[in-house]
Structure 1
Amino acid sequence: MSLNKRANNALNTNSYTVNGISQAVNNQTLQITTHGSDWYWAVCAVMVCSTFAFMGLAVTKPRTQRIFHYITAAITMVASIAYFSMGSNLGWTPIPVEFHRNTPQAHGNYREIFYVRYIDWFITTPLLLLDLLLTAALPWPTLMYVILLDWVMIVTGLVGALVASGYKWGYFAFGCAALAYIVYVLVFEARKHANAMGRDVGKAFTYCGSLTTLLWILYPIAWGLCEGGNVIHPDSEAIFYGILDLFAKPVFGALLIWGHRGIDPARLGLHIHDYDEKDLAIEMKRPGANGTNGHTNGITNGNSTEQTV
């Protein structure tokens, strides 16, 4: 009785047969089992623990040097919500499959598509790029354009996953083209900028950028085997995407925070003022600050000059 009460009952509690959805469609849909749900819950737990760890590390730094801690914690926090949803068997819709498989691992007329996964990526992948490209001190126009292409990649991936016909591969191609440019920026432009900022900055970017590049190249392969080609079971899909996300978010975040342990964000053009900063008053009186000439503002009237502080 005790074990039954503690068993994972998410699939029964959140069955897709509610709200007028026919039982026939539900029976023909390839869905996760309790094993897949348990795996999603495990990944959710890792994401939650990582969020608390990154926030805990943030308080060890001055408020002006927490930008990378906050961005990284936000990534795992959003991922926690997404994996909570998938572990609860929520945030998905059945889509008719293009390729019907006779194997037990991929047999069914419909396949569950977790759109909540793409909502997660729409929020977290720009934050991942922000972590990397701010580390490389990349110019803002390039940074914003790369984030735009990242959104193109995620949206086309979602639309392609929701399309039942072969036109889904057109969206897949658009997404891969956007990914190709992102990889180019990470491998060439951003790496050169990071190395120019110093050996420690270049080293931190190389580790994190190389990990991200490798993992992001694997995501289209996972998409082709799961949402696109209907080759593997949704439980295997959960493991494939889950492992990629674990390395792309908590492991990436830990590596990034470790790499930034001795780097002042001000070196990267991220000088952030705080209300109790001791040098703030001096900075405001600096020549040229706030459009003034410094400590004095000369007003000439005839042969006399009035000075105001």
Structure 2
Amino acid sequence: MGGNRALQLNPPNADLHISTHASDWLWSAFSVFGLSLLVMVGLDLLRARGTRLFHQLAIIILATFTLGYYSMASDLGATPIAVEFRGRGSYPTRQIWYVRYIQWFITFPLLVLEVLLATGLSLSDIVTTLFMCIVVVISGLVGALVHSTYKWGYFSFGCAALIYVWYSLLIHGTRTAFPGGGVLRTGYLRSASFLSFMLITYPICWACSEGGNVISNSSEMIWYGILDIIAGPVFLFFYLWHLMDVDYATFGFASGKYTDTEPAAAAPSAPVGEKSAPPA
């Protein structure tokens, strides 16, 4: 499944499109995500039941990345949009990869959730942060699909939402009482800083590719691919490595508790109008 065959079976639908070399790179990135997914599944199975939440979230993230990159490597999931800043002559059309934004719609909030679950943030704070993650992705998608200069308005909305995410990760989250103590706090600070730095680079790439049409589609794919690999598999393995020494029970995830035994049968209720006998 090389780039030549993919572009032959699924011809590009825009004037500015990916090259066979870019398709080959996407197949390589797909292999990285697929292999990382298999390794994560293996690590998940090695965990004791009831302590697999973080690994299973990672499995969902990596599975979504794998499917998204399979689509892009196959030259599927893009639509032609006329560029705002033309190169020469009339306005050419550029491939805009909506499948990438569908991928991010799932992976971005889950990546942030993976990190925030280690803090003492309230449920309302976490939900609000995840909503802002969704705003970032939707703003990027709508802005990429808009031909006129109004796309930069959506870009601004997305950056504003991203600032809120940074605030939750780097400021609000660090001021909470961590359930795992010093070991968990140190791991969180490193992981949150890592992820926050990676998030800065995505708007820059958007402005140079879908936004300003400064770089080619092939360069866009290479840039986004490197960012996704670092923010996906590299970050997840880095983060889970910091959680190895943390006792899972300290998180207090009651809904994630696993039991091997059947629940005790409920005592028969007394008929209506009668009182149950007091316990012996």
TM-score by length of 2: 0.90
| Equivalent position amino acid for 2:212 in 1 | G
Say yes or no: does 1:274 pair with 2:274.
Answer: no
Q: CA RMSD in A?
A: 2.4
Say yes or no: does 1:65 pair with 2:36.
Answer: no
In structure 1, list runs of 5 or more residues that go unmatched: 18-25, 285-289, 291-300
What SS class does the counterpart of residue 46 from structure 2 fall into?
coil
Give the structure 1 partner of residue 95 of structure 2: 112
Q: How does 1:78-117 map to 2 (within 5 A)?
A: 78-102=64-88, 109-117=92-100
| Counterpart among 141, 151, 155 of residue 138 in structure 2 | 155
Give the structure 2 partner of residue 51 of structure 1: 37
Equivalent-residue separation in structure 2 for 1:173 and 1:60 (angstroms): 44
Equivalent-residue separation in structure 2 for 1:16 and 1:254 (angstroms): 35
Give the structure 2 partner of residue 245 of structure 1: 228
Give the structure 1 partner of residue 269 of structure 2: none
Equivalent-residue separation in structure 2 for 1:137 and 1:48 (angstroms): 33
Q: How does 1:16-27 map to 2 (within 5 A)?
A: 16=12, 26=14
What SS class does the counterpart of residue 95 from structure 1 fall into?
strand
Give the structure 1 partner of residue 270 of structure 2: none
TM-aligned CA deviation for residue 269 of structure 1: 2.4
Provide Cα deviations, 1:15-62, integer angstroms capped at 9, x if missing partner: 145xxxxxxxx4xx1100001101111111111111111111111111
| Greater strand content | 1
The number of residues matched between the two structures is 271
Equivalent-residue separation in structure 1 for 2:49 and 2:109 (angstroms): 23
| Equivalent position amino acid for 1:55 in 2 | V
Say yes or no: does 1:11 pair with 2:7.
Answer: yes
In structure 2, list runs of 5 or more residues that go unmatched: 267-273
Provide Cα deviations, 1:266-306, integer angstroms capped at 9, x if missing partner: 312213322316xx97xx8xxxxx9xxxxxxxxxx9xxx94
TM-aligned CA deviation for residue 208 of structure 1: 1.3
Larger Cα Rg: Structure 1 or Structure 2?
1
Would the aligned equivalents of 2:96 and 2:145 in 1 still touch at CA under 8 Å?
yes
- Aligned-pair identity in percent equals 39
